[in-house]
Amino acid sequence: MSPARLVAYDVLRDVEDRDAYANLALPARIRDARLDGRDAALATELVSGALRWRGRYDRIIELAADREASRIDSRTLNVLRLGAHQLLAMRTADHAAVNESVELQRRVGNPAAAGFVNGVLRAIGRASNEDWDDRIAASADGADERLAAQASHPGWVLRALRDALRAEGREAELGELLAADNASPRVSLALLPGADIDAEAAEALSSDVERAEAVLTATGPSPLGLELAGGDPARAIAALDLPRGVARVQDQGSQLAALALSRAREPRAGERWLDLCAGPGGKTAVLAAEAALAGSELRANEVSEHRAELVRRSVEAHADEVEVVSHDGRDDEAYGGAQARFDRILVDAPCSGLGALRRRPEARWRKRPSDLPELTSLQGELLDAAVAHLAPGGLLAYVTCSPHLAETRVAVDRLLRRHPDLRELDARAVLQRVARIPLDLAGDRLSAQLWPHRDGTDAMFVSLIERPA
């Protein structure tokens, strides 16, 4: 049996049984199994495809098996998902996909169910993707159920995305957005401000990177952004021969969110900046570089000590200039005391993560609408605590990696009602000024919502709020 398929199965089990993150579990499993480059690529495609298209595959499995997915043993269901992906989305020969899946079932599941796996996968392989979409449509109870199954998004997520687009007058883009969520994004890098090399010069070094079977291109909306066309990001970064931590993997939407705070207006030397919810540290690294150039101080707080350690690693290029602490962001200790005040505060609040489904496909199956009340309550409490420590004339950036209205505009509108002395600034204008290329920012609100299908970034929300002097 192919070791790549066994690794892929193990990762799906890690995600389902241990709430593991696929992007962390997969490299560890690949290393433990000592897969070569070809098998590692196969395992990666199997994992990402089976997770991304899980909703669609489960519906197809139900139709082929004439049995609800919830009534199929979870081990067998994961084997079937991997087999369905090979049959419907890869160039694997049908007989190989079926035979390997049957052997995988005998190895990791109930051997007596090997015949069931064989029969279901042979039924799936006898129809095309178009045929299966027709069968999904014919069996669906309404348009939303059909689209949710075909586009492999839970129904509540689909409706939340539609509502967010409708608020901008762009509801017709829903299909494009769902397709973007299901496309494998390119790896995006950030080249931190103040490096001895700018993004265009880094692109000129691509001949060095090509030896690592990768090409870097200075493209995308972030002025710090590079895109990796293929290959290992670690090898591409090493080929740039820069100090540790200066070049890093980071979505360009995340880069822009941090730059919106640091470049909204010219900083003054001696300003105090705070990243309140800093883990794992990508935005912190950008703010640290910007603060160093401006002569400002940066404090980074992260409630989890484990994630605080990740923040420390992320700012290693400016380790002597950043204070990293670990406290609950609602407590005064996170700020250094009740009287502490900051000129710029980033509240990158814990959220549903619905804006990063293309990079974290398992998140769409892990989140529930019942998670929202607790998250939105926490977001409001963090914002209130941050406002209490915002200096007169200070600037606060509220950021979420989610387009869900309850976590974006609703949260901001409630904050402004609770604190009528605050005023919202034009984050859209700031981002347009900061971005390398024009952004397609829709709607008529002052906040900015980025989208994968329009901007090539995660669906990052940014609002800028000022306390008048």
Cβ atoms of 272 and 346 closer than 8 Å: no
pLDDT of residue 240: 80
Output the DSSP codes for 15-53.
HHHH---HHHHHHHHHHHHT--HHHHHHHHHHHHHHHHT
d(CA 26, CA 301): 29
Containing 195, the helix (H) or strand (E) segment is none
Looking at 282-333, list the stretches that DSSP marks H as alpha helix, in order from N- to C-terminal side.
282-294, 305-314
Looking at 90-212, list the stretches that DSSP marks H as alpha helix, in order from N- to C-terminal side.
94-108, 114-125, 129-139, 143-150, 155-167, 174-181, 199-204, 206-210
Q: pTM for this structure?
A: 0.94
d(CA 186, CA 420): 42
Is 351 a known active-site residue? no
Per-residue buried b or exposed e for 128-154, using 16+ beta carbons within 10 Å of the residue's own CB? eeeebbeebeeebeeeebbbbbbbbbe
pLDDT of residue 151: 98
d(CA 452, CA 418): 32
In sequence order, the 6+-apart residues with CB closer than 8 A to the CB of 241 are: 208
* Binding positions: 277-283, 302, 328, 348
CA distances from 44 to 14, 49, 135 (A): 14, 8, 29
d(CA 52, CA 257): 26
pLDDT of residue 218: 87
> What tens digit of pLDDT does each residue of 67-97 get?
999 999 999 999 999 999 999 999 999 999 9
Residue with tokens 């509108």: 413
Instruction: Please report, as a single letter, which amino acid is at residue 15.
Output: V
User: 264: helix, coil or strand?
Assistant: coil
- The closest of 327, 311, 275, 281 to 296, measured between CA atoms, is 275
In sequence order, the 6+-apart residues with CB closer than 8 A to the CB of 398 are: 347, 349, 383, 411, 412, 415, 461, 462, 463, 465
CA distances from 301 to 353, 362, 463 (A): 20, 27, 20
pLDDT of residue 212: 47
Q: Which of 189, 401, 435, 459 is catalytic?
A: 401
Structure tokens at 162: 């539609």
The dihedral of CA 397, 253, 217, 319: what is its sign? positive
d(CA 403, CA 447): 12
Cβ atoms of 290 and 195 closer than 8 Å: no
CA distances from 149 to 71, 370, 400 (A): 18, 21, 27
Output the DSSP codes for 290-303.
HHHHHT-EEEEE-S
pLDDT of residue 205: 59
Which residues of the chain are under the pLDDT cut of 50?
210, 212
Cβ atoms of 82 and 120 closer than 8 Å: no
- The number of beta carbons lying within 10 Å of the beta carbon of residue 95 is 10
pLDDT of residue 243: 85
* Binding positions for S-adenosyl-L-methionine: 277-283, 302, 328, 348
- The closest of 455, 358, 448, 444 to 403, measured between CA atoms, is 448
